[in-house]
Each structure stands twice: as C-alpha cells, then as structure tokens.
Structure 1
Amino acid sequence: MASSQLILILAVFVATSSLVFASDPSPLQDFCVADPNCTVKVNGVVCKDPKVVTVDDFFFSGLDKAGNTSNAVGSKVTAANVVQIPGLNTLGISLARIDYAPWGINPPHTHPRASEILTVLEGTLLVGFVSSNPENRLFTKVLYKGDAFVFPVGLIHFQQNIGYGPVVALAALSSQNPGVITIANAVFGSNPDIPANILAKAFQVDEATITKIQSKF
C-alpha cells in the first residue's frame, strides 16, 4: 500500500512539474540578454556577458510605424520578440503590431509556444479561434477600438478588418519567441510539397484542385 501511494505521489509530482515547465524558461538572474553571436544551440538563447549589456538590449523602436499591407492578404505583422529585443530572453513575453488594409486578413494560424491577447487600437476587427477536435467550435466576435480578445495557446485563430479604413492592433504573447504556423502556407506551401493525393483525400477534393492551390504558394 505504501509503495502504491509513493508511486501515485511521484506520478502527480511529475505531472505537475511538466505543467510548470511547459513554458519559456524563468530567469535565475536579473536578466539574460540574448547573445545572437553565440554558436551554442540551447532551448532559448545563450546569455550575453552582463558586463557588455547595454540599455539598447532592452529597447525597440518602430511600433508607431504602419506596416506595408500591400500584399495578397492585406495585413502586416511587425514583431517585437527576442530577435528584435535581446533583453526579452527568458522573460516569456513579446509583442507584435498588426496592420490591416480594408477587408484585409491575418490568415488562420497558430502560435505553438504562446497564448495571445490582442487589443484593437483603431478600427473594427472580426476575430475568432477554433477549439480542438472533435468539437472544432468557432468562437468569434467583432472588436472595436479599445476591445481586447484572447487566443489560447496552440489554437487556430484569425482576424479580419471588416471596415472601410485601416485597422491597427497590438498583440501581447506569452513567449519570447512564440512562433507562427500559417495554416495555408504550411499545408499548401511545404518544402517539398505534401503529396497531392494526401491533401485531396483530406480536403475531399480532386488532385487537380490541390495542385492548383499549391502552385499559388
């Protein structure tokens, strides 16, 4: 009985420990500024020598500037993550500015390492996310200036400007490097291509349709 209880306690400890560490690493010092010149590969970025850290390692300028939305989807993401701000390393946060042309979209995508909270700074934005199988439930809402909306980690989500003027939104994410997987790009623009017969069966269309879509990516 005692050994069974011990195994149960250990199992609970392992499970809770996995939850605790299933996020960006926590800092064990005041800061761990990313050293982009280091060739050592770790789960994150190696710390720069604190003696050579400067105030600019914690600074980024440019989120006041509109992104160029002259593209196929009509949106532009300006990221402010550990690549742009080395001082974010180990802090588990990042930002992004998203600009949308009239009726532009931020296509369905996921962030594999972060939840997101998005705030509309200007305009009207339709947002939504889909829960996982088997429900695949769509949660969608129209946001106005000053509104905020949360996208849970890993779930497919999207935004669309449903007004006649530009929209600006600011997204905060719970990772220094949240990553992004744009669904259409990943499925139809992989390198090399996913075999057309597989996608044809998955999407229940003919192979010619799949090949035509792949040619656009």
Structure 2
Amino acid sequence: MFSLFIFVSSAEPVVDFCVADFNYPVGPAGYPCKNSAKVTADDFVYSGLSAAGNMSNVFKLGLSSAIDLTFPALNGLGIGMIRADIGVGGVVPLHSHRVSEIIYVVDGTVTAGFMGSDNKAYYKTVKKGDVMVVPPSLYHFSVNVGNTPATLIASWNSANPGIHTVTTSIAANNLPTDVIQKTTLLDATQIEKLKKMFGGK
C-alpha cells in the first residue's frame, strides 16, 4: 500500500479581489489593484446610497451610484448599484446600458418599462416591493405616477454599466441644430431650448 501526494503550484497568485487603485489609469479590464497590504475592511463598505439624491433638476431625479468609480471594491467584480429618488411627476429619462438591470421599488408608484429592438413597448405600473428586469442595451425609463416621491434601487451585472441618455445625447453636444433636426425630426426651436438646458453648442 502506498500513498500518492500531488502538489500543484502555480506562478499565478490567488486573487480574491482587486480594490481599484485610482493612482493609475483605467484599462480595458478595469483599474489596477490597490496593494493588498493596504486593503482594510473599510474598503468593502460604502454608505453612498444611504441618503436621497438631489431632485432639484428638470427631471426631478436624484441619483446615487455604487460603481467602481465611487466604490473601488467593485472593481473587477461585475456588479454595481444605483439609487434613484424621483420626485412627484419626475422621471428617469429614456436611456440604455450595455448590461442587464434589475430594479426594486423601495417606495412609491412608478410606471417603468423598456422598448424591444422591434419597437414594442413593455411597461407596467409597479409599486413598493415590486421588481422589474430590463434586458441589456434596450432603452428604458421610469415615471413617478404616484402622489409621493419614489425610490428605486437598481443593480447591474457590471461595475460600470455606462449610460446613454436620449435627451442629453441630443442636447448636450456640439452638432449643428439643422443636423439634429434632420436626424430626429424635432423642431429647431425645441432643439435650441434643449441645448440651452443641457449645455449643448
């Protein structure tokens, strides 16, 4: 009788996490890792979603995000969250991300939905405790249809999902008004008004 012991070694160290080190530029795989000897439990706790966001804007929308830029421990983990506080009559404007999103209604009543690539709209009025999922890359929105402010928590399968908002894409750029008018069929006066609101040139 004999025993066989096999030891496998690897030159690659085991990496449990990669807290972002903002002293170096971001690359395609995220930020470089902070020296693990300097990582503490505090790096894995974030309080940025604890308070309502500032809703004093045209959308009556306050956003607080937990992404790699605000919560460095998310770097490389493929997860992220956002808190959306929506005033009465406020909206999360039509926008898209490159990843899936799941939305939980913490408080209030909102009509939320998305448009499929065939332009079919999928929307429903949801209330406290409801959950809705949005497939990746599809334009989606939320409108507070209740009589009180609403709070949503959304999560993505990305530490930085990116965002492409229709209104600001049209109005916060340096495209000539006539080009925007031709490509969107919007009235030139409305385009100029939006450009003033969102800083376009």
Given candidates 56, 61, 74, the residue that maps to 2:60 is 74
Please state if 1:49 is matched with 2:32. Answer: no
Give the corresponding residue for 1:19.
none
Q: CA deviation at 1:91?
A: 0.6
Q: How many residues align?
A: 185
1:128 corresponding residue in structure 2: 113
* 2:157 aligned with 1:168: no
Deviations 1:142-189 (A, max 9, x none): 111110011111111110110110111110111001111211101111
1:39-80 Cα shifts (integer Å, max 9, x gaps):
464431111111111111111013221122121110111101
Tell me whether 1:203 sits opposite 2:188 in the alignment.
no
Report % sequence identity.
38
How much is the aligned-residue C-alpha RMSD, in angstroms?
A: 1.6
Are residue 101 (structure 1) and residue 82 (structure 2) matched? Answer: no
Match of 1:179 in 2: 162
Partner of 2:4: none
Which structure: greater helix fraction?
Answer: 1
Question: Which runs of at least 4 in structure 1 moved beyond 3 Å after TM superposition?
Answer: 39-43, 205-209
Q: Mark the runs of 5 or more structure 1 residues left unpaired by the alignment.
A: 1-27
Aligned AA for 2:181?
A
Task: Summarize the alignment of residues 30-49 of structure 1 with structure 2, pairs less than 5 Å apart.
Answer: 30-39=16-25, 41-49=27-35
Q: Which residue of 1 aligns with 2:193?
A: 212
Aligned amino acid, residue 144 of structure 1: K
The structural deviation recorded for 1:121 is 0.7
State the distance in 1 between where 2:74 and 2:22 align: 13
Q: Does 1:143 align with 2:126?
A: yes
Query: What TM-score, normalized by structure 2, do the two folds share?
Result: 0.86
TM-score for the superposition, normalised by structure 1:
0.80
